[in-house]
């Protein structure tokens, strides 16, 4: 239950924060994101690290679904949507599989 509570609270906080940032700065993230990476400072290092985590999330979504067309779509969505997509995915799977983390993590590979 604590895992589900965390996912809901973190998801809500991230969605709210994203809405505030978009309201104040618009949705033109990519030039800022890649500009920070190109500058070679700590913000760029964080963005590069985050990109690898997005890729890992996407790879897991695709792998979990055995690379079916639906799993590939989910992988792309996970890469683009970040934590919002990953937390929603984990919450839905956790509920669907009654907290059985083996089923949550392995999916079609079980």
Give, in order, the Cα–Cα distances in Å from 72 to each of 13, 62, 89, 107: 27, 5, 14, 14
Q: Report the residue count for the chain.
A: 110
**pLDDT tens-digit series, residues 55-103:** 999 999 999 999 999 999 999 999 999 999 999 999 999 999 999 999 9
**pLDDT tens-digit series, residues 35-64:** 999 999 999 999 999 999 999 999 999 999
User: Could you tell me the residue ranges of all domains in the chain?
Assistant: 2-109
């Amino acid at each position: 239950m604590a895992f589900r509570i965390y996912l809901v609270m973190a998801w809500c906080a991230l969605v709210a924060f994203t809405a505030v940032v978009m309201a104040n700065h618009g949705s033109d993230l990519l030039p800022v994101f890649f500009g920070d990476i190109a500058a070679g400072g700590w913000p760029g290092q964080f963005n590069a690290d985050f990109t690898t985590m997005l890729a890992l999330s996407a790879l897991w979504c695709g792998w979990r679904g055995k690379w079916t067309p639906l799993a590939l779509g989910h992988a792309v969505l996970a890469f683009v949507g970040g934590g919002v997509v990953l937390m929603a995915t984990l919450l839905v799977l956790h509920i669907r599989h009654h907290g059985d983390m083996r089923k949550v993590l392995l999916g079609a590979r079980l």
